[in-house]
């Protein structure tokens, strides 16, 4: 893509801005459709006249339709939307940022979505959609997919789709946490399976149990089957939490929270709390402890967004080897700045 961009900029430098803007508008319509021009202009932080001009050109090419509900992609747009996403990222510097993070974090595949999820909830939806696209690429018939819960994973689940049913088993990688049913790992797993035509199992356990109780519960047939599937999972997709937030969410004791503070824990995944270097400082009792260390062909994908999660993302990718990271621009630039890359400045 970068080579093609250089050629285009040499051949038609006066057209590059228009091409990039149309690609940006098209890819944003995909995420927000149906969407009005004013709402899209606000999301992209652009003058409405620029969005209007780009939309008119896209409509003329038969790539979008407009009605009272707003702008939507046409079936013809399916052929070009993937390329438009790549072009948009390249035009606005996200491709270089992805390459910088891949090198800094030693993660082969990094996707950066524009914006900051801390300031704009729509960005989280786009991160979820990007994660769904990446996971769909990695999935193959016969695989077992393990997923955690949380708002980011909820958005990923609702972004999943498959033209034909996939013979994939989806299992929750965590027990129940918190009171919100929609973002539980069980619900996320069920939604993904429904959308891709696969199968799923439920984890009939809360995620916070003492070790002895956990061992007894794992003997139950309906729990044992899910645990066995989890132990041989092929692909693990998970969110990343800040240590301080997850300590409160998991109701850690005062003594445990003191351990986290003393050892400067910054991130959490699967009940593992780790410092900036990725070293474990505390392990909470959880059914998902050790996920990702299952067999050499198991792959991990981290999905997290928002500038406030930058340190936690760095720690998580140092804690375990990852195939992919899906994040947003604000987190990516903060990560690059923390690790000394020019891309973050």
d(CA 342, CA 337): 7
Name the residue range of residue 281's domain: 93-344
Please tell me the pTM assigned to this model.
Answer: 0.85
What is the predicted pLDDT for the residue at 211?
60
Going by DSSP bridges, is the β-strand pair 70-73/64-67 parallel, antiparallel, or unpaired?
A: antiparallel
Residues 186 and 259 in one domain: yes
Residues 132 and 267 in one domain: yes
What is the predicted pLDDT for the residue at 12?
67
What is the predicted pLDDT for the residue at 89?
82
d(CA 224, CA 222): 6
What is the predicted pLDDT for the residue at 197?
95
What is the predicted pLDDT for the residue at 15?
76
**Residue 88 domain flag:** no
Residues 110 and 212 in one domain: yes
Residues 173 and 69 in one domain: no
Decide if 118 contacts 306 (C-beta within 8 A): yes
CATH of the domain at 158: 3.40.50.1360
Residues 151 and 231 in one domain: yes
Give the number of other Cβ atoms within 10 Å of residue 258's Cβ: 11
Query: If 0-12 CB within 10 Å is exposed, 13-18 middle and 19+ buried, where does residue 257 land?
Result: middle
Going by DSSP bridges, is the β-strand pair 235-238/144-147 parallel, antiparallel, or unpaired?
A: parallel
What is the predicted pLDDT for the residue at 292?
47
Q: Kindly list the averaged pLDDT for each block of 10 residues, start to end, along the chain of length 345.
A: 64 77 91 91 90 94 94 93 85 88 97 92 91 94 93 95 92 73 91 96 70 68 78 92 92 93 94 94 69 68 97 96 96 95 57
**Residue 87 domain flag:** no
Q: Based on the structure, what is the number of domains in the chain?
A: 2
**Chosen domain end from 31, 47, 81:** 81
What is the predicted pLDDT for the residue at 220?
74
Residues 60 and 206 in one domain: no
What is the predicted pLDDT for the residue at 144?
95
């Amino acid at each position: 893509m970068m080579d093609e961009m250089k050629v285009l900029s040499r051949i038609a430098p006066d057209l590059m801005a228009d091409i990039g803007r149309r690609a940006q508008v098209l890819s944003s319509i995909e995420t927000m459709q149906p969407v009005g021009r004013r709402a899209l202009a606000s999301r992209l932080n652009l003058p409405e006249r620029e969005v209007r001009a780009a939309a008119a050109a896209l409509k003329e090419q038969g790539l979008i339709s407009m009605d009272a509900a707003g702008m939507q992609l046409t079936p013809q747009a399916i052929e070009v939307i993937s390329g438009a996403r790549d072009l948009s990222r390249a035009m606005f510097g996200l491709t270089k940022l992805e390459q910088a993070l891949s090198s800094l974090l030693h993660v082969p595949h990094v996707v950066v979505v524009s914006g900051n999820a801390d300031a704009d909830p729509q960005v989280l939806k786009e991160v979820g959609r990007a994660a769904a696209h990446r996971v769909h690429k990695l999935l193959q018939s016969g695989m077992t997919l393990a997923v955690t819960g949380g708002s980011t994973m909820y958005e990923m689940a609702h972004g999943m789709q498959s033209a034909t049913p996939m013979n994939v088993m989806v299992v929750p990688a965590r027990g129940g946490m918190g009171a919100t049913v929609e973002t539980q790992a069980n619900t996320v797993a069920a939604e993904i399976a429904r959308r891709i035509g696969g199968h799923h199992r439920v984890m009939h356990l809360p995620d916070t149990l003492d070790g002895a109780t956990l061992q007894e519960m794992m003997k139950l047939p309906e729990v044992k089957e899910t645990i066995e599937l989890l132990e041989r999972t092929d692909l693990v997709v998970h969110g990343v939490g800040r240590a301080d937030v997850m300590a409160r969410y998991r109701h850690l004791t005062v003594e445990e929270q003191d351990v986290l503070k003393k050892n400067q824990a910054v991130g959490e995944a699967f009940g593992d709390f780790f410092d900036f270097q990725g070293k474990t400082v505390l392990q909470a009792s959880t059914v998902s402890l050790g996920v990702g260390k299952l067999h050499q062909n198991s792959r991990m994908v981290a999905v997290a967004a928002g500038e406030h999660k930058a340190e936690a993302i760095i720690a998580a990718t140092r804690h375990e080897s990852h195939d992919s990271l899906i994040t947003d621009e604000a987190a990516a630039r903060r990560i690059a700045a923390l690790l000394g890359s020019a891309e973050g400045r």
